[in-house]
Amino acid sequence: MTEADLVRKTAIRVCQAMEQCADELTTLDSTAGDGDLGINLLTGLRVLHGSLSSGELAKATEIPELVSGAGRLIAEHAASTFGTLLSQGVIAAGKALAGPDVAHGNRLNTGFRAALDMIKRRGKAEPGEGTMVDALEPAVRAIEAATDSAPGNDPFSVLKAACEAARVGAEATRSMRSTKGRARWSGTQGEGSVDPGALAVVYLLEAMAENPTD
């Protein structure tokens, strides 16, 4: 199996796993936001799944091309707030991975760092505001710490460390007052519950962290 195949299989696994989480995210989002997060994300990921298994992206042989293409499909078919941020992050990761100086053992942190930076820029969000950034930023730090200590680490164990960090970060959004997105208007109603965007990041990472060849 080529590395591109491994990335493709992982992406398919993510699409499948999110089918199970969409209802929970939608319910959570109708308390804190507007109740469309799960549905729109799922719509986009179903299109992505189709493309990865039998469409354009089934043929992609290079990782950057595969990642950017996935981001563009999400942008097109899941243009909700979360979907837009996710798609811009994924597209940025694809671009960064296409860069000339990306060392082999550095791809995971290069991609994730680019994604995080773009999501923060597009969403004008910083940690502490009760958003997906509160899960993603600690996850990216965990990825950087793991790859710095041992470049070329098994990517799936690095991602497992990222999941734990993301989970802790998402839990912390329970006590934050949202200042971004639709949740910012319902700061009291959403209080005490996890930000749905942060939880979605956790679920996405958990699905990515499972080696699809196991």
Partner 1 sequence: MGMKNIMNNPEHYVDETLAGIYSAHSNRYTAADGNLRALVRATKNGLPQVAVVTGGGSGHLPVFLGYVGEGLLSGCAVGSVFASPPASTIETVARAAHSGKGVLFLYGNYQGDVMNFEMAEEALIEDGIACTSVVVADDVASAPSERSHDRRGIAGLALAYKVAGAAAAAGQTLDEVAAITRHALNSTRSLGVALGPCVIPASGKPTFEIAEDEMEIGMGIHGEQGIQRTKLKPAREITKELATRILEDGPYATGDQVAVLLNSLGATPLEELYIMYGDLERELSAAGVSIERCWIGRYACSMEMAGASLTLMRLDSSILGLLDADSYSPLVQFGQ
If the CB atoms of residues 123 and 155 are measured against partner 1, the closer one turns out to be 123
Q: How far apart are CA 56 and CA 161, in angstroms?
A: 32
Among 3, 34, 164, 210, binds partner 1 (CB under 8 A): 34
| Residues contacting residue 188 through CB under 8 Å, at least 6 positions apart | none
- CB contact at 8 A, 168 and 205: no
User: Which residue has 């791809």 as its token pair?
Assistant: 107
55, 70 Cβ separation under 8 angstroms: no
Name the one residue in this structure whose structure tokens are 């990921």: 45
Q: Quick check: 15 and 165 in contact, CB under 8 A?
A: no
Contacts of 160 (CB under 8 A, 6+ apart): 209
95 binds partner 1 (CB under 8 A): no
83 lines the binding site for partner 1 (CB under 8 A): yes
**Closer of 97 and 183 to partner 1 (Cβ):** 183
* CA–CA dist 137, 205 (Å, integer): 12
Question: Is residue 61 near partner 1 by the rule CB under 8 A?
Answer: no
Residues 197, 181 contacting (CB under 8 angstroms): yes
Position among 35, 50, 55, 128 found at the interface with partner 1 (CB under 8 A): 35
For position 84 contacting partner 1 by CB under 8 A, the verdict is yes
Q: Which of 180, 200, 202, 206 binds partner 1 (CB under 8 A)?
A: 180
Considering only 13, 95, 177, 182, the residue that binds partner 1 (CB under 8 A) is 182
For residue 102, state whether it binds partner 1 (rule: CB under 8 A): no
DSSP label at residue 10: H
Interaction between residue 39 and partner 1 (CB under 8 A): yes
Report d(CA 195, CA 134) in Å as an integer.
Answer: 9
Of residues 139-178, those binding partner 1 (CB under 8 A) = none
Q: Which stretch binds partner 1 (CB under 8 A): 30-38, 103-111, 132-140, 146-154?
A: 30-38
Span near partner 1 by CB under 8 A; candidates 12-20, 32-40, 150-158, 199-207:
32-40
Assess 79 for contact with partner 1 (CB under 8 A).
yes
Residues forming contacts to partner 1 in the complex (CB under 8 A) are: 26-27, 30, 33-36, 38-40, 43, 75-81, 83-85, 88, 122-123, 180-182, 184-186, 188-189
